[in-house]
Chains A and B, each alone.
Chain A
């Protein structure tokens, strides 16, 4: 039986960050708890926050379960995470500028050329372009899991348009509304500056041709998108327009939005649509979501696009293995956060190992996401294991495998009371003129007992994430 690190209890004693929650927890009668839980749900439903985490799919009007028991980090724990996350975000951006430039890391033989240049996410259309401030990925979402007091592992990087940050903000709002006393007793660092820092970050990467206060917009695929709530929520808090492709047009060297007072120039586009759809002239010609001619304006310095087209090559699951190498190569530092050891089924030695240990490994598709197309060996039935064996053998390069991690648990409200459930963490690192990280993130929790899958489509919920002031 694997033993899991419980973030609240060490033996019979309560770990320091959770000290004050012990009393709160024991002082709450079941009726009050149920009342509060109902209140929280009503609040979520009322504000209309519904969404699916990036690529998870599912019913767009579904409410993700909110667990009131907060997840807590001490200031010291966070300080180390913060250094590690920022380090990773810097290296990923250095990698992107490099592989769309001279490709020194490839020339130096530190990462295979094919892995980068034949990658579907490698965007030929931006080769030779250095975005303002040398930033390709302006919002880096890094998915982390914890296995011990000081052991954190990066599960994956999200360099394109990581979603879920509205949950980080709304979870906090709702907790503060329902349990003000908790916030008086604990010194919890605020996260509500995130939209303002995001706006500042985006403004800081305005293009060279912008000679005034930059106009920033958020580009959404539209109100049918499952994350539309988040797009409109962020636009509102940032005080910027939420536009669809049809609201923008190219004229001459610039991009404009259609307003009731005539065309208004746009300098920075925070896009929440994929590369393939942003410009039908350059990418998918059938896209109705994008802006024809946008890429020409972008490459000639008339507008900035965040994240920059092409950023996806850095968060590919096969490229992921090389992130520690990137940190050493570009920053000359040792990685502060560990990668999960990964076997590339495309390599014959790795493949042999994986096939021999399927029942203990987690197998993922290289391009999949959201917990679909995934095998959790120790939890899988014999049939599932055999199904994956066949799939992997048929197309080995499409799969990677990782050891089954002993994800940490935190106390969680369940039907029977309070019980440990497994959690992960996605903090959102903002990269512009400066690199910034608000103290917090999105904690996802696997609400099913024993489950290690935190994805909301597979029974996952969310929690407020606290970072205590020292």
Chain B
């Protein structure tokens, strides 16, 4: 397919995933604000802004982290390139450009989301419950993802969409963890304080994973369990290993379909092989923050290799 088409599909997926992440961040932030311990709440918003990579932009526009501004910022604000509005608009525009590479169902889901969002934007903010906005986002991103899985031809376009989804999700998971890595430092356990209840809930909630976590592990919540769950557990839909495996599998499909391997397969396989061998102890030994920084760098490099091998049009 045209490199530009593949690029549009790849980014359509990344923006949809990013929209979902922003909505999750917003939900988590709002939840913390409801908690009695008000002390940590401003810090929490700060860290969520950092997780979304938009702290500077927010500070420039609004200064202090006031709840109402944060809601606008994460949801409607066109100045925030990661807001739900910006992401859905960009995803829909990418979709419109490659309209013919999508099924009617996928386009409908994408276009309807965009049109509804424009309607929402016109309504007075006071009428809009926050939970309604985040639910709306979850439902619509799921609808797009679902119609992709249910109706799209499983050709190379489908692979590029999935690559976008997995790459973005891996990156988002790693960033979310990195923002709160200090919560998971083992030394806190050594001093016997245990994990701060709302801190880890925040983290798991941010990934809609707090129930899944309990089902998977049970018992006492420990830093090792959470790190294992979010990094190494292939059952967790947002774990790093799940995302990397997804990337590898779609890159392998591409290599088979095109009957040629590229540096992209090699890169993804390398990352996957490392994760497969890894134990939680190794991660803590390296330092969680160091490990996550390295992983985020790896994802950026994987993205750039994928671009060079398929998307930039200079493929020979």
Contacts and interface: CB of A to CB of B under 8 A. Distances in A.
Complex: A in contact with B (CB within 8 Å):
yes
Interface of A: 46, 48, 223, 232, 235-236, 241-244, 246-247, 257-263
B315 A259 contact: yes
Contacts of B258: 260-261
A325 B160 CA distance: 56
Interface string B89-119: 0000100110110000001100100000000
B316 A258 contact: no
A241 B97 CA distance: 12
A247 B93 contact: no
Given A260-B156, A260-B258, A247 B2 contact: yes
The B interface, classified by DSSP as helix, strand, loop or mixed, is helix
Given A48-B111, A243-B2, A258 B313 contact: yes
Given A232-B99, A261-B258, A247 B316 contact: no
The A interface, classified by DSSP as helix, strand, loop or mixed, is mixed
A257 B315 CA distance: 11
Contact of B4 (A46, A48, A246, A261): A246
A223 B93 contact: yes
Contacts of B249: none
A258 B2 CA distance: 6
A461 B314 CA distance: 45
B111 A258 contact: no
Range for the number of chain B residues in contact with chain A: 20 to 34
Contact of A258 (B99, B156, B314): B314
Contacts of B5: 241
A223 B96 contact: yes
A236 B311 contact: no
Contacts of B96: 48, 223
B207 interface: no
- A-B interface, 10 closest residue pairs, ranked by CB to CB distance from nearest: A258-B313, A236-B100, A260-B310, A223-B97, A258-B3, A260-B6, A262-B315, A232-B99, A261-B258, A262-B316
Interface in B1-50: 1-6
A263 B316 contact: yes
Given A232-B100, A242-B100, A259 B316 contact: no
B3 A259 contact: yes
A245 to B, nearest CB: 11
A246 B100 CA distance: 19
A235 B2 contact: no
Contacts of A48: 96, 99, 107, 111
Given A236-B100, A260-B310, 17 more contacts: A46-B108, A48-B96, A223-B97, A241-B2, A241-B5, A247-B4, A247-B313, A258-B4, A260-B1, A260-B6, A260-B156, A260-B258, A260-B311, A261-B258, A261-B260, A261-B315, A262-B315
A48 B313 CA distance: 29
A241 B5 CA distance: 10
Which of A246, A260, A262 has the most chain B CB atoms closer than 10 A to its own CB?
A260
B5 to A, nearest CB: 8
12 contacts: A46-B108, A48-B107, A48-B111, A223-B97, A242-B100, A247-B4, A257-B2, A258-B2, A258-B314, A260-B254, A260-B311, A263-B315
Nearest to B115: A45
A55 B1 CA distance: 31
A261 B160 CA distance: 13
B315 A244 contact: no
Nearest to B310: A260
Interface in B297-314: 310-311, 313-314
